[in-house]
Amino acid sequence: MFTLVNGLTTGMAVFLVAAGLTLVFGIMRILNFAHGAFFMIGAYVASTLVGSAPRSVLALVAAAVVAALVVGVLGIVVQRFVLRRIQHVDEHYMLIATFAVMLVCVGFVKLIWGLEFLSVDPPPGIDTGVEIFSLFVPSFSLFIISSGVVVFLVLDFVIHRAWTGKMITAIARDGWMAELLGINVPAGIMAAVGGSFALAGLAGGLLLPNQTLSPALGDTFLLLAFITVVIGGLGNVRGAFIAAILLGLIDGLNTMLLPAYPGVAVYVGMVAFLLLWPNGILGESRL
């Protein structure tokens, strides 16, 4: 039970970060190296709003939503001036450009918030724990798990059930035909990319009490988020959700069975998954 709870907590934390990364790849086929940096900016914005001790869970969630809006606007700026210009060029240029954006974001964070390490306590209500089957489970772990599930359900509904999601899917699969049918393709892409960046900001706010803030924060989850996107199937949100859970459980078992070799099982698992499913668990997808 302890391993299960820890694994699900890690998995949902990774999914919260990977959701936006999957979305932007599904729309523009760009592996965004700057995604972790925008996650970091979201965390810093939320910490500025709530301080070191949020007054309530609602205050933390509200700060995360504001951080999502701020990062979403920044994402639209990046899409307008960077991503749109490299949309139809070689993938190597995309990686270089987003890496450059990441460096700019890190420099921006150092300039505004400095180099000091900051920490934020969980708000009242999720700062203790509950007993489940004689196991003491931190309330904040349950908060992270429920947040990841809610974000997945909302994202899955928007993409596969809502009219907006169907338009975005049409743009991602055949932008030329979507434009012939009267859909404003540039505006749709801008909104969807802004939404993917907003998800990074939301994750930064929701996971705020789960980490120490520093200019290197973006690297903490970025690698696991990339692994999740690849294993789940590039651009496949459902695949990313399943992959995040599996990686979290593998990491939990690694911590319990091989504590002297932290993280090794994740990479072994990644190799095994890719040997079994080279295109990802649910395959590559244009949303």
Phi, then psi, of 118 in degrees rounded to 5? -120, 150
For 118, other C-beta atoms within 10 Å of its C-beta total 18
Nearest CA among 228, 252, 255 for reference residue 18: 228
Residues 142-163 pLDDT 10s: 999 999 999 999 999 988 888 8
The per-residue pLDDT for 106 is: 92
DSSP letter, residue 84: G
**Token digits of residue 32:** 């965004």
Residues 100-140 pLDDT 10s: 999 999 999 999 998 888 888 888 888 887 887 777 888 88
Q: What is the mean pLDDT of residues 227-238?
A: 87
Show the CA angle centred on residue 200, arms to residues 35 and 116, nearest 5°. Answer: 80
Residues 161-188 pLDDT 10s: 888 888 888 888 888 898 888 888 888 8
The per-residue pLDDT for 207 is: 92
Please name the residues in contact with 192: beta carbons below 8 A apart, sequence gap of 6 or more. Answer: 23, 24, 27, 168, 171, 172
The per-residue pLDDT for 101 is: 93
Q: What is the mean pLDDT of residues 189-217?
A: 89
Residue with tokens 């990479």: 267
Q: At what angle do helices 163-173 and 2-28 cross, to 10 degrees?
A: 60
- Alpha-carbon span 229 to 25, nearest angstrom: 9
**Token digits of residue 193:** 């990319």
**Token digits of residue 234:** 């590039």
Q: Are 21 and 229 in contact (CB under 8 A)?
A: yes
Residues 2-21 pLDDT 10s: 788 888 999 999 999 999 88
In DSSP terms, which residues pair with 119 in a beta bridge? 212
